A and B are shown apart, each in its own frame.
Chain A
């Protein structure tokens, strides 16, 4: 007998696996649909006939289409996304090189946004209808409406170009090569502006949804019972109401992860952060299609994985979902 959580995990896998296959299939047909010879597209501008022939053989463009598709699918799922036209390295190696920088920035932004977003959401639900709550709602709508990369540009204009408090670009000081604690400090210093930019968008979403879920939870009978028993407001808020509302928060984080990753792409461009986002940008500019499609398939798989994790986390948090 499987435990309920294991069963849920299997059910989620049953959705995630077809989705990964769908992403790879979509990419395959996209390359075929692109105007021109797929081999020429993968080979980049002005390839030599030998290189074209090599690509044709490598990708099996001389084979029947179903064989090509199966080969592409098999390679993509095992992480073989081909070779970058620009660096000539395997795409997967290039991605793995850049991935830690993106994880560092995106992860920090998500932690910051979750903590502040939950605090703000709970506080404004606690005083729902008050002027402070209205002000928070207005501010979160504003935060949600500002394009992330523009916020980043404004932060650079004010805090880097104008006030010169923080560095405008990069992940570490270019001229000094710090080690140990000084290096950590240096990277943290460079992270302030990009993390603020990326966190702002997620923070407003988390605050909005947490507030709505908290207002609903605070209206339930178990809150009334807790109040009648004389529980403190803090205990009611966090122990009774938030434990029920946090499922919504986790769901939002999971569902918006794709948007956060896309946001990271533009934020990295604004701040010259050496992560996956820069990779996307450079791949577009150099028309390095194996790198672009590889980075796309890799990111999509990460997004699908994070969604699965967030679903399972919801089930662990709320026994009612396990069924």
Chain B
């Protein structure tokens, strides 16, 4: 049964990935952008000695050798705040994308595999979630239930799965009629086994595309919430830095420019990777 699965094109294999990578320069550029940000965020303590939360009397200093990205109104080093702020943004982005991809994949696979009434119901629900203004829903939920990393991750994750669900459903509808599925069913495999062992591996490449686009969109959503003052003040993310920058827009351009560049580099990089893989 497994040999049959291998013959299907678009299966996630190292060779397939390498071929894709070599054909897409945009993907390479995107991956490089993401890598630069990831290195900065992961190795923050090595790259800067400054503490992102330490106050000082050097307030609103323009960029200099001592403070490459300047300082804020409380004398905190913006370079350190951008590097450490990326941790909050990326953690929220990765975890909420994981939730949305798992939910989207489950719903998409069930709808595409079983079709009929279940498909109809699941797709109406998906449609409803697509129409809803997800960012405004997130705003009300976080404002009422309280801000914090967990709430942000859950809300963003549980609101952004419809895109993934639709893509996976479309793909499963095609795979459903392949011979190896019929073979698996005839050999007595349960529907759960068919879904997990035979269908899932074939939608993985599409899931990879969805996942990278989801991380980008989740980071964007998080920055939106933080910009509205709904971020976690204990873990200042890029959106929170931009909200603070807004208060000093005419005095301190560096407070808005640098966190925004980090945010834009990450989102653009992930979108380029997702687009390239597609």
Which of B144, B264, B268 makes the CB contact (< 8 A) with A41? B144
Interface of B, secondary structure class, is helix
- Taking a contact as CB atoms under 8 Å apart, the answer to whether B267 and A262 are in contact is no
Residues of A with C-beta under 8 A to B145: 30, 33-35
Known: A147-B224, A157-B253, A262-B224. 11 other contacts (CB 8 A): A15-B124, A26-B137, A147-B263, A147-B267, A149-B223, A161-B253, A255-B131, A262-B135, A265-B136, A292-B139, A296-B137
Interface membership of B178, Cβ < 8 A: no
Q: A248: shortest Cβ distance to chain B, in Å?
A: 15
Other-chain residue from B131, B216, B242 in contact with A145 (beta carbon distance below 8 A):
B216
The 0/1 profile, CB within 8 Å of B marked 1, for residues 13-25 of chain A is 0010011001100
List which B130-153 residues lie within 8 A (CB) of chain A: 130-137, 139-141, 143-146
B-side contacts of A161, CB under 8 Å: 249-250, 253
Contacts of A265 in B (CB 8 A): 135-136, 139, 228
Q: How far is the CA of A257 from the CA of B130 in the complex (A)?
A: 11
Residues 135-149 of chain A, each 1 if its beta carbon lies under 8 Å from chain B, else 0 = 000100110111101
Is B246 within 8 A of A269, CB to CB?
yes
Which residue of chain A has its CB nearest to the CB of B144?
A: A34
A154 in contact (CB, < 8 A): yes
B166 to chain A, nearest CB (A): 11
List 29 A–B pairs whose Cβ atoms lie within 8 Å, in order of A's numbering.
Answer: A15-B124, A15-B127, A15-B128, A19-B128, A33-B145, A35-B146, A141-B271, A145-B216, A146-B267, A147-B220, A147-B242, A147-B260, A147-B264, A150-B260, A150-B264, A153-B256, A153-B260, A154-B256, A157-B256, A168-B250, A262-B224, A265-B139, A266-B224, A280-B136, A281-B229, A292-B139, A299-B136, A300-B136, A303-B131
CB 8 Å contact bits of A286-323 with B (1 = contact, 0 = none): 00010011001001100110010000000000000000
Smallest CB-CB separation from A142: which chain B residue?
B268
Most buried by A among B140, B256, B260: B140
Task: Say if the beta carbon of B44 comes within 8 Å of chain A.
Answer: no
Q: Report yes or no: B230 in contact with A284, Cβ–Cβ below 8 A.
A: yes
Chain A residues with CB below 8 A from B26, complex form: 138
In the assembled complex, which residues on chain A have CB atoms less than 8 Å from the CB atom of B242?
A: 147, 149-150, 153
Contact at B224–A157, with CB atoms within 8 Å? no
- Distance in angstroms from B181 CB to nearest chain A CB is 29
Q: How many residues of A contact B (CB 8 A)?
A: 51
B268 adjacent to A269 (CB under 8 Å): no
> Do residues B256 and A150 form an inter-chain contact, with CB atoms below 8 A?
yes
Interface residues of A (CB under 8 A from B): 15, 18-19, 22-23, 26-27, 30-31, 33-35, 41, 138, 141-142, 144-147, 149-150, 153-154, 156-157, 161, 168, 255, 257-259, 261-262, 265-266, 269-270, 280-281, 284-285, 289, 292-293, 296, 299-300, 303-304, 307
Q: Once the chains are docked, how many angstroms separate the CA of A280 from the CA of B225? A: 12
A269 x B267 contact (CB < 8 A): no
* Across the A-B interface, the 9 shortest Cβ-Cβ residue pairs: A258-B133, A262-B135, A145-B268, A150-B260, A34-B144, A145-B267, A296-B140, A153-B256, A307-B131
Q: Which residue of A lies closest to B270 (CB)?
A: A145
Task: Categorize the interface residue count of chain B.
Answer: 35 or more
Residues in A with CB closer than 8 Å to B268 are: 141-142, 145-146
Decide if A147 touches B136 in the complex (CB within 8 Å): no
Partner of A150, one of B143, B229, B263: B263
* Contact, CB under 8 Å: B272 / A270: no
Nearest CB in chain B to that of A270: its residue: B246
CB 8 Å contact bits of B14-40 with A (1 = contact, 0 = none): 000000000000100000000000000
Residue ID in chain A nearest B242 by CB atoms: A150
Residues on B with beta carbons closer than 8 Å to the beta carbon of A296: 136-137, 139-140
| B-side contacts of A299, CB under 8 Å | 133, 136
- Provide the bound-state CA to CA distance between A281 and B257, in Å: 22
B84 at the interface (CB under 8 A from A): no
Contact A22-B227, Cβ < 8 Å, known A161-B249, A258-B134 = no
Please give, as numbers and ranges, the residues of chain A lying within 8 Å of B140 by CB-CB distance. 27, 30, 292-293, 296
- Interface presence of B245 (CB below 8 A): yes
The reply to whether A154 and B131 form a contact with Cβ atoms under 8 Å apart is: no
Nearest-CB distance from A137 to chain B (Å)?
9
